[in-house]
Amino acid sequence: MKKITGAILAAAMLTSGAAYAQAWPAKTITLVVPYAPGGYTDSVGRITAQFLEKELGQTVVVENKAGAGGIVGSDYVAKSAADGYTLCMCSVGAISVAPVAQKVEYDPLTSFTPISIVSEIPQTVIVNPNVPVNTIEEFVAYAKEHPGELDYGSSGAGGLMHFAVQLFASKTGTDLVHIPFGGGAPATAAVVSGEVDFTFTNMTDALPQLEANTVKGLAVTSEERSKFLPDLPTINETVVPGFSAVSWNGVMAPAGLPQEAVARLSDALKKMAADEGVIEAMGRVGASTVFITPEEYSKRLADEVAQWTATLEEIK
C-alpha cells in the first residue's frame, strides 16, 4: 500500500511540482527520533513535532528507533522514501561522527536532504573536585605534567564525547586516557564518584552537578559562551583557538526531497527558531534554538566530517 501511494506520489511529482506542493503534507508525517524515549534528542524531537504539527496543519508522530548510538534510526530514514512523510530528528553523533569512526550504510553528505539544525547544546568540561586545577589553562598544564595519568569518561568509542576530547588532546599536545562507558549519564556519574578524572559532557547532565559542587566546571566546547553558564570560558577563547564541538539536533529528510517540501519545511523551522514557546521549552532541556538554511547545513556537515576524519587520522 505504502509503495503504491509512493508511486502515485512520485508520478504526481514528475507531472507537476506545483501539484505536489499543494498536496504536501497530505497525511501524517513521521518524525523518527533515532534515540530512546526520554533522552535529550527525544525531548527536542517532541518539541519540534508539536510545532510542526501546528505550522503544517498535519499530525506529526514521533517514532523512536533507537540503537547503535543513533545509527539504526538514521539509517532507516536514509532508506525511506523521499516523499516528505518520513523525517529524521538527527543528531551530530550518528551523522557527523559515527560515519567517520565506523562502517555505516549511509553517507552523511549524500544520503540525506538536510533542512535545518533546530537546537544546539555545548559540551561542558567537568572535572572531579580532587583534580588540583580550577581553570582550563591549569588543566592543560597539569595534563602536560602528568602525561597518560588523567582518565576521561565517554559515552562509548567513536561518539562525540570521545572524539571531542581526542581533538582537544591533539590540539593541546596532552596524553589523556579514554575510558568508555555505556552512555553519557554513567560517564558523568563516574566523574562525580572519581572513577575518572574528567569528561566533556552534555550541558544538561552537567548543570545540576555543577550547581551542587559535586564537580568543577572548567570550560564549554562551543565557539561562544553559553547563556546557561555565562561565567565559563570557551576552549576557543582560552587554550585552543578555533575549537568547536557542539552537539546539535537537526531535521533531515531522505536524499532527493522535492524542493517544494524543503522550502516549506525550512520556512516552518525558521519560524520555530524564533518562537517564544519553543525557546522556553528548549531552554528547559539546556538547548538553544538555531535556524540555518539547507545550504548552510550541507556545508556545516561537510566541515564537521572533514574535522572528525582528521581527528581519527591523528588517533590512529
Nearer to another protein, 203 or 240 (CB): 203
10 Å Cβ neighbour count for 167? 24
3-state DSSP call for residue 148?
A: coil
Least Å distance between CB 89 and another protein? 14
Please compute, for residue 137, the number of CA atoms within 13 A of its CA located in the half-sphere on the CB side: 4
What does the binding site for another protein look like in residue numbers (CB under 8 A)?
Answer: 36-40, 42-43, 46, 63-68, 71-72, 75, 101-102, 105, 151, 156-158, 177-182, 185-186, 188-190, 192-193, 195-196, 204, 207-209, 211-212, 214, 281, 284-286
Nearer to another protein, 56 or 185 (CB): 185
The Cα–Cα gap between 86 and 279 comes to 25
DSSP annotation of 69:
G
The CA-based dihedral angle spanning residues 269, 228, 92, 296, taken in that order and rounded to the nearest 10 degrees: 50
Please name the residue that has the C-alpha cell 519553543.
278
Least Å distance between CB 245 and another protein? 18
User: Which residues in 135-194 belong to E strands, given as ranges?
Assistant: 151-154, 177-180
Nearer to another protein, 73 or 114 (CB): 73
Nearer to another protein, 71 or 95 (CB): 71
On whether the CB atoms of residues 115 and 263 are closer than 8 A, the answer is: no
Least Å distance between CB 57 and another protein? 19
Least Å distance between CB 191 and another protein? 11
Least Å distance between CB 268 and another protein? 20
